[in-house]
Structure 1
Amino acid sequence: MEKEKISQQLFAQVDVKHPWLAMTSMLIGAFVGMLSETSLNIALPTLGKVFNVEPSSLQWLVTGYMLVIGIVLPFLSLISKWFTTRQIVIFALADFAIGALISGFANSFTVLLIGRLIQGIGTGLILPLMFTVAMLIFPPQKLGAVMGVNALVIMFAPAIGPTITGIILGALSWRDIFFIFTVLLVIGLLFAIFTLENINKITRPHVDILSVLGSIIGFSSLVAGVSFASESGWTSFKVLGLILVAIIVLVLYARRQLKLENPVLNLRVFSKVNFRTGAFLVMIDFGIILSSMYLLPQFIQNAMLLPVAMTGIIMLPGGIINALVSAISGRLYDSIGAKIPATIGFFVALLGSIMFIFASEKSSVAYVITAHIILMIGCPLAMSPSQTHGLNALQGPESADGSTIMNTLQQIVGAIATAIATSLLGIGEAVSHSSNKAISFTSGVHFGFYFTAFLTIVGLLLALTIKGKNKSQDIELH
């Protein structure tokens, strides 16, 4: 029995000849998906002028995309029991490419938004599958480094997105953003066709329709309610009604999942303290990233009055630092666990948030770059260790459930955080009472970063509760 346990800890659950080659198509898909998640932030002012759309409507290009991801994500566990790994990945990459082409050729805001929503389906399938497959095809003692690479993809893409978009907008057209996505996705599709192996087992379980409807209605109502607050106000009947519907439906949905023998989303994994803590830390961290990455490009363009190409260049150093820290933080978990890097990460992110709260329309470019770098040190430092800490608390089929739940809530929180930042941006502008647009916009950005700073404080306090390195996956060889 003891030898069997050690064997399970030494070897991967599924034997694959070339694990990293098998992961390549999903890594490319996840990179483009996350790149798409924040790359449009820097293009929003341009798109607003092109299609004559207000910021409250423009935010749907970001929140709508994340909303679809959040709706699709919970079904990945069920979908992976009905379709092979190859079928899911090939469909997801092809779907994303089609959505990117629709957005690239869009002649109206509505068509552009439809293309974005279609792209969200592909990302919603790829993201959790990447983590699930990694948990299966790599041995436990290598998961820290593997999750570090996955986190590098997820964290680097949002950080580098504004820079790439700024360069494209400065030299080409906003349409080329989506055409470049398509090229990358075609490359990923070729890897999926020629190198990806089937990992999951097809069992075709019963599909609970009530759970499907509850998930779609609950999560979409929640994100829609918060998003509408930026244009209708938090006390409007529409906003309060949608949020109330979301709460009722999600409570009923959660109760049903706990009673079903084969739930769509296995919420029982939240009984594991380490998973629960890791999941909440990842959600908070992602909320910090998405809210700040939504506010910063607009601050540079609308408050500091710098051109879009310059915005991308300003955000490049932070993106590079983000990549470096993401690569290192995964290995930190293997040696010292999650508590130290997560605690330091959230504290550093708090310092970066405070610096942005004190930024003004007259702040130097060096000041903004420094604040961004500090923020981009903190967030990835906390992300990968927290994620690995949570997922390492689970074993077997629970790993897939945990990955799906963590990614679902991450996207939902990201959409909500962006919507709240948008709402606070408008409130801050309204209370500034300044006729100078740059000054009033700066006031709005400050309100948005108050929320970001609040999230960092919550993350810091929660990181302090981590019990230490999860020993369930560790082995000692004598």
Structure 2
Amino acid sequence: MKIEKHWGISLLAVLAIGPGLMLNTSLNSIREILQQTFNDQSYISITPVLIGVISFAFCIPFGPILRHKIGERRTYVLSMCLFLIGAIVSIASNSFLGMGIGRFFQGTGTGLALMMMIPMLVLSFPIQKRNLALLILIGGFYGSSVVGIFLGMLVNSYGHWRGLFYIAAVLSLLGICFSYKFLTNDHAKQQHKYHEPFDIIGVALMFMVTAFITFTLLNLQKSGWTSTYVWIGIVGSIIFLCFLFIAEWHIKNPLIPFRLVASRKPALAILIAVIGNISMSLTLLSLQGLLKSGSSFDKGDISLIYIGLFAGIVIVAILSAVLYDKVGPGVLGIIGAVIIMGVNIQWMYLDGHASAFLFVSSFAALIAGVGFTVAAGLMGAALGGPLPSLVPRMVTVQFIRVTVSAVIPVISGIVFAKVYKDNLMTVSAEGQVASKENFTQPLHVKSEIITYHTFSTFSCVLSIVVLILSFLMFLTGKGHKLAHKPHDKEKNKEKLSIEEVHLKKDTPVFERSPKEAVSNQVIGDSEYREALKKFGQPKPSPDKMLHMRDQEYRKALKRMKDIGQ
């Protein structure tokens, strides 16, 4: 069975990016399992997630550059081999340091593949069906993150965290195998004459920004906000981020062209995508916590409840692909924000003793709502400016979005611990328990439930912000469409060319011009092959040139050229 190229490219894109996104979300939720495995409760436990996401963000701009230098297949295979090495190192590791090294390779591989595969994915579809690319982007990429949430739940319930990396390794091997069927290196041959100065300053400043962010988050996890090192890291991150912004704004060939996202639509789209992601993290933490702490469901029931995540993915992937060109990113963002707001308002007043159906529907609605904001944010930014600059603009958007996603888990974990501690003190002070010995667990559960309600309130406020930003983006217009019907000019040109062909067929050969009479004749197969054979031979010596039928050779080449016209 022959697979059309756009579906083959879609498969390669999901195999290249999906496993990395899956691990990023799953490792966030299994930190306690890893701490027990490695017998290490220290702040180092955040390194697998942090290093993986930071290296992912740092390598995003280099994917398109490598594609121009060595070709798309070599770049793809290189990124998948790096990811495979990282998976093997993580499987064999017996400490957070070893897993951090493996995650570095995985983040590097995913970052190199991201901005090579997304443009290839979109452009591989016929222009009339290009909205299907959004189906793959949401269903495949965002769906991979949701699969990671589901697998993280399974690991927390049944253990065996190394199975995550076995799955990632198998998917990497499949990607390498399929790449030899659907990718070539022809693009590299066309770029030999094209040279632009490499942005060394941008690379150095990017490294400093990501290094200071990593330093800050590690010390924040270790010592909290009172640590001097945390504030040194924050100040350093801000200073080098400003330097990076100024340098990339003025340089001729920037690695991260911030100038391309400075207009209204891309800027609003970035804010929608980032704030929507934060809102999802807070709401998901609240729902997962209520399901774990306040409900009476067993492991099997909880696994079935998480099926709601996949229902949300299917719904949002299909509706986004159908509605994007009709309503634009602004309306999609409004729909997503309203759905997220409704879920959070509901769970601000409910505890974990809700029905299974309510949990399933809430998971599905949350994932669908956030999916709409992701589609609105990413596609609104991609298509919110001149199409020739789509790739560098998306590089900037993805660098910002992924860098922020590295910060969210650490900050939300610290805020949760602080809010939970305050709620625990409040509950104790109000004297709601009579005996500390008998009611320690209920006190703990009650404090957690209050904390989850607080997080739902935070998320509801953020969804209101997303709603306002989406309305502002709606005022800027729909922007470019993903799918187009053939333009009238192209239809008329095609119609004219068909009429000319029929006219020439009806005209006798002796009434045509000499050029037309020759160019419409068919070259014999043997003559065609002989001309190609001579064309591929090295330049002969002067003695052999005397014996070559030069006139016949030139005539055959001329007729080949005319046929091409």
TM-score range, shorter chain: 0.7 to 0.9
Residue 146 (structure 1) aligned to one of 133, 151, 161: 133
Greater displacement, 363-372 / 96-105: 363-372
Q: CA 1:307/1:124 → structure 2, altered by over 3 Å: closer, same or farther?
A: farther
Alignment partners' CA distance in 1, 2:342 and 2:221 = 27
* Contact kept? 1:301, 1:308, Cα under 8 Å: no
Q: Which runs of 5+ in 1 are unaligned?
A: 1-15
Residue 328 (structure 2) aligned to one of 319, 337, 342: 337
Partner of 2:246: 255
Residue 47 (structure 2) aligned to one of 60, 70, 78: 60
Deviation of 1:186 (Å): 0.8
Partner of 1:218: 209
Partner of 2:544: none
Give the AA of the match of 1:460.
L
Partner of 1:186: 173
1:183-203 Cα offsets, whole Å, 9 max, x none, are: 111111111122213457544
Residues 388-467 of structure 1 correspond to what in structure 2 (within 5 A)?
Answer: 388-395=379-386, 397-432=388-423, 433=425, 435=440, 436-466=443-473, 467=476
TM-score (norm 2): 0.75
Deviation of 1:460 (Å): 1.1
Deviation of 1:150 (Å): 1.1
Deviation of 1:182 (Å): 0.9
1:216-245 Cα offsets, whole Å, 9 max, x none, are: 211342354246434422242111111111
Give the AA of the match of 1:440.
S
Residue 256 (structure 2) aligned to one of 249, 259, 265: 265
Give the AA of the match of 2:376.
P
Q: CA 1:47/1:417 → structure 2, altered by over 3 Å: closer, same or farther?
A: same
Alignment partners' CA distance in 1, 2:302 and 2:28 = 11
Partner of 1:195: 182
1:122-174 Cα offsets, whole Å, 9 max, x none, are: 12122222222234434555433312321211221122223234345656611
Over the aligned positions, Cα root-mean-square deviation in angstroms equals: 2.9
Partner of 2:477: 468
Q: CA 1:64/1:222 → structure 2, altered by over 3 Å: closer, same or farther?
A: same
Percent of aligned positions with the same letter in both sequences? 20
Residue 123 (1) aligns with residue 114 (2): no
Deviation of 1:111 (Å): 1.4
Alignment partners' CA distance in 2, 1:235 and 1:404 = 35
Alignment partners' CA distance in 2, 1:18 and 1:476 = 20
Deviation of 1:361 (Å): 4.7
Alignment partners' CA distance in 1, 2:234 and 2:300 = 38
1:304-325 Cα offsets, whole Å, 9 max, x none, are: 5866665443322123222321
Q: Secondary structure at the match of 2:100?
A: helix
Alignment partners' CA distance in 2, 1:164 and 1:179 = 13
Residues 71-150 of structure 1 correspond to what in structure 2 (within 5 A)?
Answer: 71-138=58-125, 141-150=128-137
Alignment partners' CA distance in 2, 1:206 and 1:266 = 15
Q: Secondary structure at the match of 1:317?
A: helix
Q: Larger radius of gyration, structure 1 or 2? A: 2
* Contact kept? 2:22, 2:145, Cα under 8 Å: yes
Alignment partners' CA distance in 2, 1:472 and 1:175 = 43
* Count, aligned residues: 463
Give the AA of the match of 2:364.
I
Partner of 1:9: none
Q: CA 1:442/1:71 → structure 2, altered by over 3 Å: closer, same or farther?
A: farther
TM-score (norm 1): 0.87
Q: Secondary structure at the match of 1:465?
A: helix
Greater displacement, 295-304 / 456-465: 295-304
* Contact kept? 1:95, 1:118, Cα under 8 Å: yes
Give the AA of the match of 2:444.
K
Q: Secondary structure at the match of 1:407?
A: helix
* Contact kept? 1:329, 1:382, Cα under 8 Å: no
Q: CA 1:105/1:438 → structure 2, altered by over 3 Å: closer, same or farther?
A: farther
Q: CA 1:312/1:243 → structure 2, altered by over 3 Å: closer, same or farther?
A: farther
Give the AA of the match of 1:423.
I
Q: CA 1:83/1:311 → structure 2, altered by over 3 Å: closer, same or farther?
A: farther
